[in-house]
Amino acid sequence: MTYVHSKAHLLSTVVGLATATIAGINTAGSAFVVAVACALAVGVGIRVRHAATTAVLLAAVAAMLSNAPPLQAGLVGLCGAYYLLLRHAEPRSVGSTGRSPMVAAVCFTVVAVLIASLPLDFPWLTILAGPSMFVAYIVAVRPFFPRAVARSNRDEI
């Protein structure tokens, strides 16, 4: 194992355990059991990379079962995203590819926590969630459409 690979491996394990710990704050009963299972999945994720996804899903379930406040839920999601990025990225590219997605994840977490923390009571507001997520999805995948790539290449010439 190279130095860069072992450094990224150790960092991913620490971030995974932080995810499990944050998800387990102020939990009791089934939420605590799920948070412990999340920590065990992080341990399994040391050898089996795909167990990291299970660990993040278990952290989300623990946060949901414990009715976590918005800041705690945001931190669980942010740490979970960083953990998955570290576990599934190539060891040599963690430093270069990790910045852009994490800046986006931090911005999204800040906005989501702020919105969830505001005491708004608009029952009709949830109707906008579906269309807004669809628009966000289209904007996110637009660079992968062949016409968009051809158009951007033509604009560069």
For residue 139, the surrounding DSSP H or E stretch is helix 129-141
- Residue 131: pLDDT over 80: yes
Query: Which tens digit of pLDDT belongs to each residue from 98-107?
Result: 567 778 788 8
With bands split at pLDDT 50, 70 and 90, how would you rate the model's confidence at 151? low
- Residue 153: pLDDT over 60: no
- Check if the beta carbon of residue 80 is closer than 8 Å to that of residue 119: no
The four Cα atoms 96, 103, 89, 142 give a dihedral, to 10 degrees, of -100
Mean pLDDT estimate for the chain: 81
**What span, in angstroms and rounded, lies between the C-alpha atoms of 2 and 91?**
9
Rg of the chain over Cα atoms, rounded to whole angstroms, equals 18
Q: How many residues comprise the chain? A: 157
Rounded percentage of the chain residues whose pLDDT exceeds 90: 33
The two structure tokens encoding residue 5: 């690979």
With bands split at pLDDT 50, 70 and 90, how would you rate the model's confidence at 36? very high
